[in-house]
Amino acid sequence: MDGPVRIGNFSGYLGDRFTAIDEVMAGDPVDVLMGDYLAEVTLAALSGRESRGYVGYFVNQIRPHLAAIADRGMKVVTNAGGFAPAALAEALSGHGLRVAYVEGDNVLDRLGAYADAGHRLENLDTGEPLAAWGRQPVAANAYLGGWGIARALREGADIVVCGRVTDASLTAGPAAWWHGWSEDDWDALAGAVVAGHVVECGAHATGGNFSGFTRIPHLLAPGFPIAEIAADGTSVITKHSRDDGAVTVDTVTAQLLYEIQGPRYLNPDVTVDLQSVEPRQLSPGRVEIRGATGSPPPPTTKVAVFAPVGYEIVNTVFVTAPDVDQKIDLLKAQIGNDLPDGVEVHFTRIGSAADNPRTQWDATVALRVMATAAERDPLMRLQLARRLTSLYLQSIPGFYHDGGSQLTGTPKPRIDFWPALLPMSAVDHRVVVEGRTYDIPARAKTEITSQPTHPEPMEPPPATDVREVPLGTIAYARSGDKGGNSNVGIWVSDDRAWPWLRQALSTVELRRLVPELAGLEVVRHEFPRLRAVHFVLKGLLGTGGSANLRVDRVGKAVGEYIRAKHLPVPVELLEHSAN
């Protein structure tokens, strides 16, 4: 087709703004509506339910607009199919729309056959085979690429419903269909994957969750992004002109660095080299992305395997200065006294009390109390809520919980995550369009690649005129999760600050700034075109966001935490950053 394809996002996760499709339908014209719902923690939550179906939230969002979508000739692509894409396709039928669904990602019933065939389904992080896990999986979904989506659109589908495809494939598939790309148009595919990665998380690209949010004047309800993808894979990221938010080089850079494992970005259809990618501001609200280069994809794909590992209860109580340390010690001893067999209690102190506090809340520290057990019954016997409320007259002075909420005593399941590797050729990728099934073969050409190695910087030369300030005074950051690993990208907007940043943020320095990294592997990369240093913090999130014991389970605030740390910064750079 002529011209770039305009793909408008309307969801970045399950729970995103319910009115998104209303807003996008009332906004600037787009050719394809794209909605992403299936984060790893979302799949984990869905897998823990007895009814493992599709995302009903999406149905309620889109149903009022089906007739208008048909009238305008728009296409819709989404992974809201969850564990039941065929059922979602049936729920959307009618209104003169052809609804297709992509299947083959659900490989739970094939795990035994895979083992018999010699597939180890080794863990991406540890290399251990799935057989060593010792858990009974309740869900296993392979990450599919975008060619099933492209085939469905080519066969005349108006709505394409997917289960677990990669987030970027929801954009790359429609782009490949629109421009008629072949499977070896590596650079074009790479550009589409990059564009898809930027817009897959909705308002992330328009100012949401952005370190520089104070510089965006209208952020009450940031709008949803649009990717305009040209035939050569270059793209322009923009948004609906009527909506809040902003699209800048920095909001785009934030998303480029989000939830990656390094400069090589692996996708089932192409391997993208992010080192050559460079965003450029064309005009207010329009950022061009060019320079993406692609090569054949890896022969394997990731399989998200989930299994129950027990149950948990979480409550939060409050401690007021003075003597906070001693008060918390007594609470720990009292709460942890005479526990039922099999119960473990984990405590997290949140915040610090101010010296000479101005208000009561400046003197207050939260204490998170999390109880876990392999079985539900020991947690029921624990009666954590009653145990906490029984301490009001016999524990620390000033002990209380939030009187506007109830303490919970009902356990909920803990779902663990195993990121497995499986040859793509072992996955039956199919698309069904009005009863006809089309097989999507694995890529004919594949290539094993590894992340590049970037040498650690030498010791930065001593600066004669520096000021100790928070890193966030001069740098932005974005962090996220990849299974049990947290990633964080830290960048500067000013070319003059880049040499200082890359010298200052060595792995040794990061470990000094973040004591939680003790004993963990840290992988460091540089992105000179983005003026960014990127770290993968291996194991910071345990085995994954659905089962770890952290308060910030998926590492969303790790970047901001690092920005709050103080470093000596040359005064000259601070003067430039203030201009």
Structure tokens at 245: 């938010």
For residues 478 and 487, give the distance between their C-alpha atoms in angstroms, rounded to a whole number.
Answer: 8
Strand, helix or coil for residue 241: coil
Q: What is the pLDDT of residue 43?
A: 84
Closest CA to 536 of 259, 276, 194, 204: 259
For residues 323 and 564, give the distance between their C-alpha atoms in angstroms, rounded to a whole number.
Answer: 26
Q: How many CB atoms lie within 10 A of CB 445?
A: 11
| Residue 468 CB-density burial (10 A; 0-12 exposed, 13-18 middle, 19+ buried) | exposed
The dihedral of CA 167, 168, 173, 178: what is its sign?
Answer: positive
Beta bridge partners of 273: 264, 293
Q: Name 111's Cβ contacts closer than 8 Å, sequence gap at least 6.
A: 121, 130, 137, 140, 305
Radius of gyration over every alpha carbon of the chain, rounded to an integer in angstroms: 25
Q: Do residues 533 and 502 make contact, with C-beta atoms less than 8 angstroms apart? A: yes
Helix axes 147-154, 169-179, angle to 10 degrees: 40
pTM higher than the cut 0.85:
yes
Strand, helix or coil for residue 292: coil
For residues 253 and 128, give the distance between their C-alpha atoms in angstroms, rounded to a whole number.
Answer: 34
The low-confidence residues of the chain, meaning pLDDT below 70, are 48-51, 460-463, 578-579
Q: Using H for helix, E for strand and C for coil, what is the string for 53-76?
A: CCCHHHHHHHHHHHHHHHHHCCEE
Q: What is the pLDDT of residue 399?
A: 96
What are the φ/ψ torsions at residue 154 (nearest 5 degrees)?
A: -65, -30
Residue labelled with tokens 């998380």: 201
Domain with CATH 3.30.70 in the chain: 308-415
What are the φ/ψ torsions at residue 574 (nearest 5 degrees)?
A: -65, -35
Q: What is the pLDDT of residue 578?
A: 54
Q: Name 257's Cβ contacts closer than 8 Å, sequence gap at least 6.
A: 478, 487, 489, 491, 527, 530, 532, 534
Q: What is the pLDDT of residue 95?
A: 87
Write the DSSP assignment of 103-165 as a string of letters.
E--B-GGGHHHHHHTT----BTTT---GGGS----SEEEE-B-SHHHHHHHHTT-SEEE-SSB
Side-chain-side CA neighbours of 197 within 13 Å: the count stands at 23
Pairing type for strands 522-527 and 293-295 reads unpaired
Structure tokens at 102: 């992509």
Pairing type for strands 300-320 and 412-423 reads antiparallel
Q: What is the pLDDT of residue 46?
A: 83
Q: Do residues 195 and 249 make contact, with C-beta atoms less than 8 angstroms apart? A: no
Q: Name 62's Cβ contacts closer than 8 Å, sequence gap at least 6.
A: 21, 69, 76, 92
Cα end-to-end distance, the chain, whole Å: 45
Helix axes 186-199, 249-256, angle to 10 degrees: 100
CATH class, domain 308-415, is: alpha beta
Write the DSSP assignment of 534-567 as a string of letters.
EEEETTTTTT-TTT---SSTT-TTHHHHHHTSEE
Read off the DSSP letter of residue 390.
T
Q: Which helix (H) or strand (E) covers residue 374, if one does?
A: none
Model pLDDT for residues 390-443, shown as the tens digit of each residue: 999 999 999 999 999 999 999 999 999 999 999 999 999 999 999 999 999 999
